[in-house]
């Protein structure tokens, strides 16, 4: 890491920084999901991106981002969530590690609340 991990954690997570372990920051950096440059502009740009927004709200879920990357071949942006890519992502998320991990994603036909669910559409239980 080019920058002190504690300082980077504070820049990225602000008042929530103490709740994000430094080990998580290291892991995110190793996975390439943190901004490459640490200037104010790049930090703000990262925070406003899909990846930044997702990780700011779910810092321990960078592994999920890597699984999505495996499915679509790159770190995802919001525009990558097309029907075709969602099908690829669904296949990755249905691997045993997610079934055993309690995420509980499955395919079914029926109704979910007030929303109709089509064949093959994901539901999170």
Quote the pLDDT of residue 122. Answer: 42
Range of the domain at 13: 5-79
Q: Render each residue's pLDDT in the chain as its tens digit; 125 residues.
A: 445 888 889 999 988 888 899 999 999 988 999 998 888 889 999 999 999 999 999 998 998 999 899 899 999 999 999 999 999 988 888 875 555 454 444 333 333 333 344 444 444 33
In a domain, 39, yes or no: yes
DSSP track, 12-74: HHGGGGGGS-HHHHHHHHHHT-S-SS-SHHHHHHHHTSHHHHHHHH-GGGHHHHHHHHHHHSS
In the block, residue with structure tokens 């509980």 = 104
Residue 21 lies in a domain: yes
d(CA 7, CA 105): 37
**Pairwise CA distance, residues 100 & 98, whole Å:** 5
Q: Identify whether 62 is part of a domain.
A: yes
Q: Do 71 and 85 contact (CB within 8 A), yes or no?
A: yes
Instruction: Evaluate if pTM is beyond 0.85.
Output: no
- Whether residue 63 lies inside any domain: the answer is yes
Task: Please tell me the predicted confidence (pLDDT) of residue 97.
Answer: 58
- Give me the pLDDT at residue 82, please: 93
Q: What is the pLDDT of residue 3?
A: 59
- Number of domains the chain is built from: 1
Task: Please give the pLDDT value at position 81.
Answer: 92
Closest CA to 56 of 30, 94, 23, 25: 25
């Amino acid at each position: 890491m080019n920058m002190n991990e504690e300082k980077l954690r504070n820049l990225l997570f602000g008042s929530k920084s103490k709740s994000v372990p430094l080990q998580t920051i290291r892991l995110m950096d190793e996975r390439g999901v943190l901004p490459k440059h640490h200037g104010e502009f790049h930090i703000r740009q990262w925070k406003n991106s899909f990846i930044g927004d997702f990780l700011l709200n779910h810092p321990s879920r960078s592994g999920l981002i890597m699984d999505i990357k495996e499915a679509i071949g790159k770190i995802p942006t919001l525009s990558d969530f097309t029907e075709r890519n969602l099908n690829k992502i669904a296949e990755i998320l249905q691997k045993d590690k997610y079934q055993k991990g309690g995420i509980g994603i499955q395919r079914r036909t029926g109704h979910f609340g007030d929303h109709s669910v089509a064949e093959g559409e994901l539901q999170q239980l």
